[in-house]
Amino acid sequence: MLNSGEKIFMALATVEFLLGILVNGFIVLVNCIDWVKSKKLPSNDLILVSMAISRIGLSCTIIWNIYLILISFDAPTQVRIIDVFLVLSHNSNIWFATILSIFYFLKITNFSNPLFLWMKWRIDRRLFMLLIVPFIMSLPIIFPMMERTRYYGSILSRGKERNVTQEVQVSKNKLIMLQVLFGLLSLIPFALSTISFCLLIFSLWRHTRQMQQNATGSRDPSTEAHVRAMKAVSSFLILFLLYHMGLCVYYWSDSEAKSKLASKLGMSIMLLYPFGHSLILILWNSKLRQASLWVQETYILVGRRHTW
């Protein structure tokens, strides 16, 4: 039986989950409708759809795990399945968001560097490979690490039950090492997104200086595009850090009462990321923003007709 605190936490997690499904489902629906109408899917929309689908999977996996924790359901098979889905959705989602940051950088900025020009001209043709290849290449590294993490975690819990101090300490050290390595793997996409963000800032600074030299006072479309891209990338970086804080809290907690509370808190923080960044993308993407305004206006009109 759940106590009042657990009921509040379950309600909060459920609201976060439903918001994530709603926001990311909206992104998929709008772009798929546009795809059917125009018979083509632009590169930017393809990245958004891929990222939204992976975030729906991530939200479902997190809420599934939260419910199992709340009801104290001990099923090793289900826990293993959750870990597999969590690795797949976590890894794909981070890479898709990173590729979106790189895509914004390549499409908006202008540099004369030969490597930059080569990437700028070929990103549309290589987009599918960029979405799939890093994700597939990381799986042979992450899945063995996940299995070893579970193995040392089971040794750690069995050692605590038998009160074997040395065995517990060795397993705990190895478990911490694996978790640190897992975190370091996530530093690669985070570093790429950070570099893209810094280069966007530099490109905006250079563009603003050229406008001042040309005595152009108003902000032009290039400046607006820079600002929108920087907001999207910076929000991803902030929410990405929050997500990893929650992930660390979740993985570093054990089965004790206080650690169970920390685990629930970590999962709740993780749920902020799938819907938070997608909501920001809707607000700063002109097509998605217009579609959301149309839905809002339609909802208001339908509500007025019912009141009449």
Q: What is the 3-state secondary structure (H, E, C) of 252-278?
A: CCCCCHHHHHHHHHHHHHHHHHHHHHH
Does residue 101 lie in a domain region?
yes
Does residue 305 lie in a domain region?
no
User: Measuring CA to CA, which residue among 56, 2, 60 is closest to residue 28?
Assistant: 56
Does residue 77 lie in a domain region?
yes
Does residue 306 lie in a domain region?
no
Does residue 303 lie in a domain region?
no
User: Measuring CA to CA, which residue among 14, 88, 12 is closest to residue 50?
Assistant: 88
Q: What CATH number corresponds to the domain at position 20?
A: 1.20.1070.10
Query: The domain containing residue 282 runs over which residues?
Result: 4-153+165-212+222-293
In sequence order, the 6+-apart residues with CB closer than 8 A to the CB of 237 are: 190, 193, 194, 197
pLDDT at 154: 59
Q: Tokens 């809707």, residue?
A: 282
E runs forming strands in 50-99 = none
Does residue 237 lie in a domain region?
yes
Does residue 45 lie in a domain region?
yes
pLDDT at 257: 44
Measured over the CA atoms of residue 291, residue 296, residue 301 and residue 305, the dihedral's sign is positive
Question: From CA 173, how far away is CA 80, in angstroms rounded?
Answer: 22
In sequence order, the 6+-apart residues with CB closer than 8 A to the CB of 21 are: 56, 59, 60
Give the pLDDT of the chain (308 residues) as one tens digit per residue: 667 777 788 888 899 999 999 999 999 999 999 999 988 888 889 999 999 999 999 999 888 888 887 776 666 666 677 777 877 888 888 888 888 898 888 888 888 888 888 888 887 777 777 777 777 777 777 667 666 666 655 555 555 545 545 554 555 566 566 666 766 777 888 888 899 899 889 988 888 888 777 755 556 778 888 888 888 899 999 998 888 888 777 766 654 444 567 777 788 888 889 889 999 999 888 888 898 888 887 777 776 666 65
Q: Domain total for the chain?
A: 1
* Helices vs strands, H then E, count in the chain: 9, 0
Does residue 205 lie in a domain region?
yes
Q: Which long-range contacts (CB under 8 A, 24 or more apart) does 145-148 make?
A: 145/178, 145/181, 145/182, 146/83, 146/84, 146/87, 148/174, 148/178
Structure tokens at 169: 């300490």
Question: From CA 118, how far away is CA 126, in angstroms rounded?
Answer: 11
pLDDT at 76: 63
- Answer for the pair 97, 140: CB distance below 8 angstroms, yes or no: no
Question: From CA 94, how far away is CA 98, in angstroms rounded?
Answer: 6
